[in-house]
Amino acid sequence: MFTASDLLPFNLSPEDVFEQGDLVWVKKWNWDYEKAHSFQRFCLKKLDSSPRKKVLIVCNHPRVFTNGRGLQKPRKGQVLDLVEFNPALSRELPYPLFQIERGGGLTFHHPGQFIFYPILKLSPLKLSLGQMIDEIFSVTKTILIDWGVTDLSTENVLMGIWKGNQKLASMGIAIEKLTTFHGMALNIFEDRPMMDALKKLNPCGLSATTYTSVDQVLPDKTLSLEAFTDAFIQRINHAWK
């Protein structure tokens, strides 16, 4: 689906891409956020001529902040006590900030995260947005439960994967021409410099202390970003083959 010349502007090589039927996987560690974002937009155009294909990106990024279109809106009868990001703080941030198209407010990325960007055409009869999000969360939860994480839920009124009252994973999706991009960030390893930077902020409108990571809830387990990625790819291949 991609030529070497297609990949070069995004700091990708053919070795970063592998196809399994209609699933095209891209795996890139420590990927510059701006390059990754540009590649997602490039994939949107590619899927116009290959609508059956799904480009599934697994990656992480150097420390960076992103800000979406706005915080989650309450449904009828809900009260969400969320704090909007103050743009005046932009000049004080220790890491780059990108304004992007996805839903949600300010969030953060760092090398200790597992990030999944599904770029695919939605179909009301085959794969709706709600089904896609549910399946991503289900696969992620299954792997974490296999690792020994307990008390996981996606039933919180605020979208994400929660362990009790602490958040492990966030989801923010954008859609153009029925094609999704952006996606899920799961905190596998704590990043202390990023957590220190978040003390003055409210990621997703929440206190920074709301966020935790897998290594914090499983302190005695040997964890690996590659091991999680391998399990995730295997399960998504089975679900979306």
User: pLDDT band at residue 121, thresholds of 50, 70 and 90?
Assistant: very high
* Residue 173 in this model has a pLDDT that exceeds 80: yes
Pairing of strands 64-70, 97-99: parallel
Q: Residue 43 catalytic?
A: no
Lowest mean pLDDT among 85-94, 108-117, 161-170, 226-235: 85-94
Which residue of the set 186, 204, 214, 236 is catalytic? Answer: 204
Q: Give residue 77's pLDDT.
A: 60
* Residue 76 in this model has a pLDDT that exceeds 70: no
Q: What are the residue ranges spanned by the domains of the chain? A: 4-240
Q: Give residue 79's pLDDT.
A: 63
Contact by Cβ (8 Å): 164, 151:
yes
127 Cα distance to chain centroid? 19
109: Cβ–Cβ under 8 A, 6 or more apart, which residues? 33, 60, 61, 62, 63, 64, 65, 66, 115, 185
- Cα dihedral 229, 234, 240, 241 in deg (nearest 10): 140
Q: Give residue 228's pLDDT.
A: 98
Output the CATH code of domain 4-240.
Answer: 3.30.930.10
pTM beyond cutoff 0.75: yes
Q: Give residue 193's pLDDT.
A: 97
pLDDT (average), residues 178-200: 96
* Residue 124 in this model has a pLDDT that exceeds 80: no
Q: Give residue 218's pLDDT.
A: 96
Name the range with the highest mean pLDDT among 58-62, 68-72, 89-93. Answer: 58-62
* Residue 201 in this model has a pLDDT that exceeds 90: yes
Nearest to 28 by CA among 121, 141, 114: 114
How many residues does this entry show for the chain?
241
pLDDT (average), residues 11-28: 96
* Residue 199 in this model has a pLDDT that exceeds 80: yes
Q: What is the mean pLDDT of the chain?
A: 94
Nearest to 113 by CA among 187, 48, 53: 187
